[in-house]
Amino acid sequence: MPDLPAGRPANNRLLMVMPYEQLVRKAVAAGFRVWSLWDPALRGPAYLSQVAEHSEELLRADFGDVAGLRALVAKTARAHRVHAVLHMGSEATMVPVAAEAERLGLALNPASALRLLNDKAALRETLNTTPETTVAARCATTPADVRRAVAGRSLPAVVKPTGSAGSRGVALLRSAADLDRWEAAVRREGVPGPYLVEDYLTGPEFSVETLSSGGRHRLIGITAKQTSGPPGFVETGHFFPAPLSEPDRAAVLRATTDLLDRCGYRFGPAHTEVVLTSRGPRVVESQARLGGDRIPLLIATASGFDIEQAVFGILSDGRLPRPPEPHRHAAIRFFRLPPGRLTGTGDTGAIRALSHVHALHFPHAPGGLLPPVTNSATRHGYAVVHADTPQQAVRRLDEVESMLAASVAETGGPRQEGAAR
């Protein structure tokens, strides 16, 4: 693995796999020359042209062809004498890219660390080596195996794919009927196994954002999560910073850094989800990337700290940044309207003009069909606000929804997570 320098690297050439446009832009601003590698099936030409605008070159690959992807990583790295290979996109291709980078001596993390973090079953197996972090779990290859695993344990239990994200294929099983509904959903949506069946953890849930360098970990922030609850646990909102006592905050941080140490994680961002149970914190899952759901924007809104930019600062000089100090609160709410045809909305321009609104995303126009909300990808939009208190943040988000004034002619589709708030 390349050593992170004490000063700006003499070789500032970086190969980024699946880089989002703002990451390439911030890497270049930090002094790097970037070669970007994307699968054009995953982003449209307009988006990829933005990536290309900031890149030395935009290379295209089929991410489903692992051998071809690894070959292109090797060819590009050698041709342009890059210093390191960085992948902060989706988890599916992280491990093979890291394995190739490791073979070339250009990996920022060992492939084994990424496999342990991104594979929910491997992560659970790693954590279950000590009693204080154990959560009873069993891996199942097929839905039929899930049925056998459920038959051999007490309920309730949670079932989830080991390699999926965004709440796809996640369900709380309390009865045989729940299992039937889950199996029908994963078959209908094409959510592949293997699956993990594990204890249902109760308690407040948090997202923990960290940055690492040389195997040292720095807490950037803890976000309080809101979900739709069972059966699908779709995330409905976040508050930053989380309202935690100092002992609870320290316990959540210890659980997170202990996990990163066990996995051998050395560099970059990690996004770890933790439930604070009556027996102490338990890790739900973790990913070797930045948090989704606009968590970086919440951190920046509350504290002015740019976690994306900080990644390239670490890559430049190897030093972990000072932790941010929030001076206000930030919150996001995801819109969950009834499924049906959108018949009207309020003035979205007036919402965006509010000084406390930092983002409004509602990509729907009257006449369009709104799907039922069954996972993160099917939520109908979001708003981000700042406030002096969490209570004021709730009032401001209520105001945004009232001004949005979305009206829907319902179609009678599934509403278990698509009902209006």
Fold for the domain defined by 136-199: Dna Ligase; domain 1 (3.30.1490)
Tens digit of each residue's pLDDT (9 = 90 or more) over 281-315: 999 999 999 999 999 999 999 999 999 999 999 99
Cis peptide before 269 (omega within 30 of 0): no
Burial class (CB in 10 A: 0-12, 13-18, 19+), 325: exposed
Per-residue pLDDT at 9: 56
What does DSSP assign to residue 308?
A: H
Per-residue pLDDT at 228: 78
Q: Of residues 375 and 287, which shows the higher confidence score?
A: 287
CA distance linking residue 320 with residue 313, whole number of Å = 8
Tell me what the mean pLDDT of segment 134-141 comes to: 90
User: Of the given ranges (116-120, 166-170, 354-358, 392-396), which has the lowest mean pLDDT?
Assistant: 166-170
Over 60: is that where the pLDDT of 421 sits? no
User: Of the given ranges (238-247, 310-319, 410-419), which has the lowest mean pLDDT?
Assistant: 410-419
CA distance linking residue 66 with residue 36, whole number of Å = 17
Tokens of 14: 């970086």
CA distance linking residue 354 with residue 357, whole number of Å = 5
What Rg value do the Cα atoms of the chain yield, rounded? 22
Class of domain 13-108: alpha beta
Q: Mutual orientation of helices 176-189 and 143-151 as an angle, nearest 10°?
A: 160
Domain boundaries of the chain, sorted by first residue: 13-108, 136-199, 202-327, 330-410
95 CB-side CA count, 13 A: 12
Over 50: is that where the pLDDT of 419 sits? no
Tens digit of each residue's pLDDT (9 = 90 or more) over 46-99: 999 999 999 999 999 999 999 999 999 999 999 999 999 999 998 889 999 999
Per-residue pLDDT at 415: 42
pTM over the 0.95 mark: no
Per-residue pLDDT at 414: 44
Tens digit of each residue's pLDDT (9 = 90 or more) over 16-51: 999 999 999 999 999 999 999 999 999 999 999 999
The overall average pLDDT reported for the chain is 91
% of the chain beyond a pLDDT of 70: 95
Which are the contacts of 65, defined by CB distance < 8 A and separation ≥ 6? Answer: none
Per-residue pLDDT at 417: 36
Topology agreement, domain 202-327 and domain 330-410 = yes
Per-residue pLDDT at 3: 65
Parallel, antiparallel, or unpaired for β 33-38 and 57-60? parallel
Answer CATH for 330-410 from 3.30.70.2190, 3.30.470.20, 3.30.565.10, 3.60.21.10:
3.30.470.20
Fold for the domain defined by 202-327: D-amino Acid Aminotransferase; Chain A, domain 1 (3.30.470)
Tell me what the mean pLDDT of segment 269-280 comes to: 95
Q: pLDDT band for position 230 (50/70/90)? A: confident
**Cβ atoms of residues 299 and 370 within 8 Å:** no
C-alpha closest to that of 158 among 149, 15, 142, 39: 149
Distance, CA of 307 to chain centre: 14
